[in-house]
Structure 1
Amino acid sequence: MKSGIFTISLDFELLWGIFDKVGARYKPEYFSNTRKIIPNMLELFGSNGISVTWATVGMLFAENEEEWKFYSPAYLPSYRDKKLSAYEWAKLNGIRPEVHFAPELIGQILATPFQELGSHTYAHYYTLMRGQSPEQFRQDLRATQKIAEDKFGLRMKSLVFPRNHINELYLGICLEEGYDYVRGNPKNWFWQETQHESFEKKLFRSADCFFEVGEKSSFGIDEIREFDNEPLILPASRILRPLNPLNPPFNSVRLRRIFREMELAAKHNEVYHLWWHPHNFGNAPDQSMKELGQLIQHFQKLREQYGMESLSMAGMGEKAKSRLLTV
């Protein structure tokens, strides 16, 4: 029997996700808030039966700088723009464990029911930036699987490309290195080719959080297609934009939009794939957690009323594969 699916994937990065945007000018409390709030998020997910994929930057697995260097590949990304390289940033600014390493949080993720640990590459790798190569990307993926296997005894199956830079020429490498599932971008035009940003794209993406300016965000699981020598692409539906503590109307309108989309997916037995970064909660942790509670409460209503189920990326992918086998 078909039912709607609610999937959450989180891009777990700490400073590795924004180093090239903020340089050394970051707020330490932003990430200390993030570290404090993740156990609360896990408690909320685990106690409510919410499956979540934590797409984690591989560098976060390291205990210290020595371990970080040990697992880093010998063949580093040779971006033309050196400021895009996590290695170059660390060389110039140094390593700070509180914003660069989090093995204890990864252990908590693995110890919490219904959670999947996925990959966000080892070094927040940008596959569409000039200068890097397929072999460098392969070495990055291998470093991620190696540190996960050595420290936690697992091989990851799900991958999220940093900045949603999906290089279709690299999909075969993902599958060869153990990734069966990759998060895709929402299908609207303003989410395509994210390496080429424009004011128009940003404007439409922002507006779409509040109003229906694009196509509907949910999709049927039978829309997921399988191609030879590639992982399954699992489209995203929407990003949960960071809460603005100074603008309550902004917060409520964007949340109501998500609630409506979730209900539409539940009614029509479709998939709704929501994503965000845990550090998005760093500026307003208490209010953000309150919103997350409301989101989960809304899902519980849809679960009771329509039989909507919560699945990780791997769970959604396995269900899609089983349907493909019966076609």
Structure 2
Amino acid sequence: MDITSNNKGVFVISLDFELLWGVWDVTTKEKYGQHILGVKQVIPGLIDLFKRYDFKATFATVGFLFAKNREELMASLPAVKPAYSNSNYNVYEKELPLVGRDETDDAYHYGYSLFRQLLDTQHEIGTHTFCHYYCLEEGQSAEEFEADVRAAKKIALDNNIQLYSIVFPRNQVNEDYLPVLQDNGIPVYRGNPTSWIYKPRKFAAELPFIRLCRLLDTYLPVSGYNTHIIAKEEGLPVNVPASRFLKPYNKSLAWLEKLKLKRIMNEMTRAAQKNELYHLWWHPHNFGVNIAENMNNLTIILDHYKQLQQKYGFVNLTMKEAAGL
């Protein structure tokens, strides 16, 4: 069943709000710490910029970030934890023991003050799972995923938040786990673009050639136009699929910025003309350095959205709203 909003194009932005929990296993504080610390400027900057454009987004938040301090965090852990075959993915064994007392002591792992700022806005707060759970890695199970989802829901409810939307970490959408979401009251998820280069994969399967194809797709229509129809499948959560990752500003690739933005705006225009969905996403820490340049790029995108709104009736919705909830 097609549930695209009122026969109008829909523009959704979702952000994977995770701080160091999203990258601890692939980088270090020394290499990437400034990106993480920069999120303290990025979140209020995004709130202000979105407010100027009367724009609402979905902030898919790692459950750990709902905790004010270590005591609260430890008390919220699920009894059943992911048993990855590769222990290097196990956040409970590898990273959790390194966590400080609270946000003042450890701004890499705690973000309660940032989360609180979002509560006073029109944005949706969704989940990025409780522990940044990897749904396609070997060793973990549906039972462990369900325990994670329940922990995410509980700590959200403790903060008076009802979760509706989920973003799978590393975009590891596991279709076998969709009934788990439905059974636990998470009726919306962000799926992947349809092109083979965006197919959900284990982390080890992200080969250099695939990464190169995705990089080229940032600037050239390698995968075509990633606009979608939002459809409901009986008994399963609604897929509000991603269209494009907003690649952050990179000084060495600055000469390609106009091409990157043109690619995005062309897709937005197509979605507006064809009454389809365009779903842009990134992580707040992607904007954590080169903040001015990244915010300027987002401003250009939002200006284009306003033009499409006036010309075609292009509407902005959260993931929950785009799913018809």
TM over 0.5: yes
One-letter identity of the residue aligned with 2:164: K
| 1:118 match | 126
The offset of 1:29, in angstroms, is 2.4
| 1:325 match | none
1:186-205 Cα shifts (integer Å, max 9, x gaps): 00011113212122211211
**Contact 2:24/2:95 (CA < 8 Å) preserved in 1?**
no
Moved more, 263-272 or 91-100: 91-100
**Contact 1:138/1:173 (CA < 8 Å) preserved in 2?**
yes
- Aligned in 2, Cα 1:198/1:241: closer, same or farther, shift over 3 Å? same
| 1:216 match | 225
| 1:100 match | 109
| 1:239 match | 245
Q: How far apart in 1 are the matches of 2:212 and 2:166?
A: 27
**Contact 2:15/2:283 (CA < 8 Å) preserved in 1?**
yes
One-letter identity of the residue aligned with 1:110: L
| 1:85 match | 90
Q: How far apart in 2 are the matches of 1:281 and 1:194?
A: 25
Match of 2:234 among 227, 235, 241: 227
Q: How far apart in 2 are the matches of 1:28 and 1:204?
A: 28
Q: How far apart in 1 are the matches of 2:49 and 2:170?
A: 27
The offset of 1:47, in angstroms, is 2.8
Match of 1:37 among 14, 34, 42: 42
Moved more, 188-197 or 23-32: 23-32
1:6-60 Cα shifts (integer Å, max 9, x gaps): 0001100100000110145444322221111210101111231212000000001
One-letter identity of the residue aligned with 1:183: R
Q: How far apart in 1 are the matches of 2:109 and 2:149?
A: 18
| 1:172 match | 179
| 2:3 match | none
RMSD between superposed Cα atoms in Å: 1.5
Q: How far apart in 1 are the matches of 2:36 and 2:229?
A: 36
| 2:166 match | 159
| 1:206 match | 215
One-letter identity of the residue aligned with 2:216: A
Q: How far apart in 2 are the matches of 1:206 and 1:225?
A: 31
**Number of equivalent positions:** 314
| 1:286 match | 292
Whether 1:188 and 2:180 are equivalent positions in the alignment is no
| 2:262 match | 256
Q: How far apart in 1 are the matches of 2:8 and 2:143?
A: 41
- Aligned in 2, Cα 1:227/1:201: closer, same or farther, shift over 3 Å? farther
| 1:146 match | 154
Whether 1:135 and 2:143 are equivalent positions in the alignment is yes
Unaligned runs of 5+ in 2: 1-5
The offset of 1:275, in angstroms, is 0.6
1:115-153 Cα shifts (integer Å, max 9, x gaps): 0000000000001111111111111111111111112x1
Q: How far apart in 2 are the matches of 1:30 and 1:211?
A: 27
One-letter identity of the residue aligned with 1:127: C
**Contact 1:24/1:93 (CA < 8 Å) preserved in 2?**
no
Q: How far apart in 1 are the matches of 2:140 and 2:247?
A: 30
**Contact 2:18/2:62 (CA < 8 Å) preserved in 1?**
yes
Q: How far apart in 2 are the matches of 1:219 and 1:36?
A: 33
Q: How far apart in 2 are the matches of 1:247 and 1:193?
A: 27
Unaligned runs of 5+ in 1: 320-327
Q: How far apart in 2 are the matches of 1:37 and 1:234?
A: 25
| 1:61 match | 66
Task: Give me the identity figure in percent.
Answer: 38
**Contact 2:63/2:127 (CA < 8 Å) preserved in 1?**
yes
1:232-257 Cα shifts (integer Å, max 9, x gaps): 11111111111112332222211111
**Contact 2:14/2:279 (CA < 8 Å) preserved in 1?**
yes
Q: How far apart in 2 are the matches of 1:134 and 1:219?
A: 28
**Contact 1:237/1:272 (CA < 8 Å) preserved in 2?**
yes
| TM-score normalised according to structure 2 size | 0.93
Q: How far apart in 1 are the matches of 2:265 and 2:23?
A: 29
**Contact 2:227/2:278 (CA < 8 Å) preserved in 1?**
yes
The offset of 1:92, in angstroms, is 5.3
Q: How far apart in 1 are the matches of 2:12 and 2:59?
A: 11
| TM-score normalised according to structure 1 size | 0.92
**Contact 2:192/2:200 (CA < 8 Å) preserved in 1?**
no
- Secondary structure at the aligned position of 1:209 is classed as helix
Match of 2:206 among 178, 193, 197: 197
